[in-house]
Amino acid sequence: MKKTNNTNTIKNLFPYLILILVIFVILNVLNMGRTITKEITTGELMTEIANKNVTEIAITPSAEESIYYVEGKLSSYNENEKFKAKVVDAELNSIVKYAEANNLKVYETNADPGKVSWVYIIINILPLVILVGATYFIFVKMANTNKGSMDFGKSRAKLSENGGKVRFSDVAGLKEEKEEVAELIDFLKSPKKFQKLGARIPKGVLLVGPPGTGKTLLAKAVAGEANVPFYFISGSDFVELFVGVGASRVRDMFKEAKRNAPCLIFIDEIDAVGRQRGSGIGGGHDEREQTLNQLLTEMDGFGANEGIIIIAATNRPDVLDPALLRPGRFDRQVTVSLPDTEEREAILKVHAKDKILASDVDLKSISRRTSGFSGADLENLLNEAALLAVRKNQENITIKDIDEATDRVLMGPAKVSRKVSDEIKWLTAVHESGHAVIGLKLKDAMEVQKITIIPRGMAGGYTAYTPKEDNITRYTRREMIAMITSTLAGRASEELFLDDITTGASDDFKRATELARSMVTEYGMSDLGPMRYESSNENVFLGRDYNKTKNYSDQVALEIDQASRKIINECYENAKKILKENKKLVMQLANTLIERETITKEEIDQVVKHGKLIDKNEEEKEEEQEEK
């Protein structure tokens, strides 16, 4: 401990030692540039003139009457040395004549030596002024630095006095989620109504859900509706390199919140500071654990924080510490899930308010085709469509712009500049047509919305599907089998209708294998029975990874592989069977793709019905003939 104190003392004294060294150097420089004057008598001056040692002479009158100063240099002097002799008027004439007789030039000046010249001020006084100013600046800078270090443990939470401008009307969808948090607003507005019946309002509400689903927006709306002070901070703002800083910021944040109670505190990405203790490297001295301990104490410790409600958001609830989730801290968890069809339509309407849409844009149809999109994805979709319309100098946003924006969001921009040979185009068209035919002919498969052979990202083409029902959280065994079958149909189509197979199905194999293995190890959809062998959400902590063990024997591992392979093989054979029966449709779709490169659901339906794309007039005539 003593060694550490000595080291800190040396570090504190180091700036002062540097300052002393700088002053010493400056003084030496000033002394080097100063002129050294040597006093001599009139006799010595005459002798030096006679010996021709004097190189120059200057005569200056003094303030005293009949007194002069004779200055000059001797040949033995250095650059900064000179002599000076005080003579009277009677001696001056003889000195001048004697100097002229020895061919020495005499300079006369009328300057008054009693006055201080500007040169003297610049050379002698200005460096001292600069030195004093620099010293003052250094000390002021150090004082400001120390003042900032005193604020290092202060809270970084930002305060919004009236809760902000966001209201529930600005949050589309999330009907049940709004009802869950509406009680917080009622409590903040009229707490006596709850206290009368002895009800305790939740101290904390944890918003859980995938990224982009509107967790932060919902918290802002709660603050806006309640019209109370609203503190917002990110979990990472608590974590610092120095131990104890995060805990200090937590204490200061709650101290400020008590002054403005009733109020809301919103902690975004709380998993940055609320991860489970003892699950990684580092013990109780770890900065993150110190911060979490302080947060737990402030939320439900010996002290009472009346009128302070905490809202936190995370998309990783599985990594949070159990003590943080118990009643009395985060009493309530609100799951903010991905929006369904109706909610997506409402979200699109909110984000379409300030955009000029063409008459052919149907937001309800777009909401059906964007299954799995979050609120942030939908906002980005309309923004990308608007950017495309501006790029084309259009007056409004058309459905083609939205379709292109959807592809850009999912797969990236189209590689229109990439040159693709006719052979590769045909291979891609046959591959994608195989996917589409399974989606059209297999009962439990998802609906085909679009087929394209335009390269995007790493894909040479793709087939877009949407679920027949907007149920994105639960699938039946038949639906999962249909997914695997449609995923493998691209390779099956290549094998049946081409002379060779390609590497384009590698990503298909990856997805099909993951689905098949999940059916066996997670969902109990195989001959191995209803048992869970693996989990898709494995813990990511380093300490847990070291202790990870298999929950099954090598024999069971072999059976898992065999069951997964059985599912894959059955789906692949079924895909080949369906494609053989619908070879004509595969070729019709492939030829249409070669012609158009991209075909939509309406055009796919035309090819299925008529074998080719036809005009609306022709389609109406055919319908009339069928009716007759």
| Active-site annotation, residues | 432
Report phi then psi at 201, rounded to 5: -70, 145
CA-to-CA distance for 185 and 225, rounded, in angstroms?
Answer: 7
Rounded to a whole number, what is the distance in angstroms from the first to the last CA of the chain? 102
Task: Give Cα separations from 281 to 277, 288, 296, 613 (angstroms).
Answer: 10, 11, 21, 64
Task: Give Cα separations from 287 to 123, 217, 244, 274, 582 (angstroms).
Answer: 56, 30, 6, 12, 64
CA-to-CA distance for 307 and 337, rounded, in angstroms?
Answer: 29
CA-to-CA distance for 270 and 253, rounded, in angstroms?
Answer: 15
CA-to-CA distance for 87 and 106, rounded, in angstroms?
Answer: 15
Tokens, residue 576: 């080949």
Which amino acid is present at 157? A
Is 521:560 a contact under the CB 8 Å cutoff? yes
Is the bond into 229 cis (omega within 30 degrees of 0)? no
Is 274:292 a contact under the CB 8 Å cutoff? yes
Paired residues of 37 in beta bridges: 82
Q: What is the 3-state secondary structure (H, E, C) of 224-266?
A: HHHCCCEEEEEHHHCCCCCCCHHHHHHHHHHHHHHHCCCEEEE
Phi/psi class of residue 356: alpha, beta or left (left: φ > 0; alpha: ψ in -120 to 50)? beta
CA-to-CA distance for 334 and 315, rounded, in angstroms?
Answer: 12
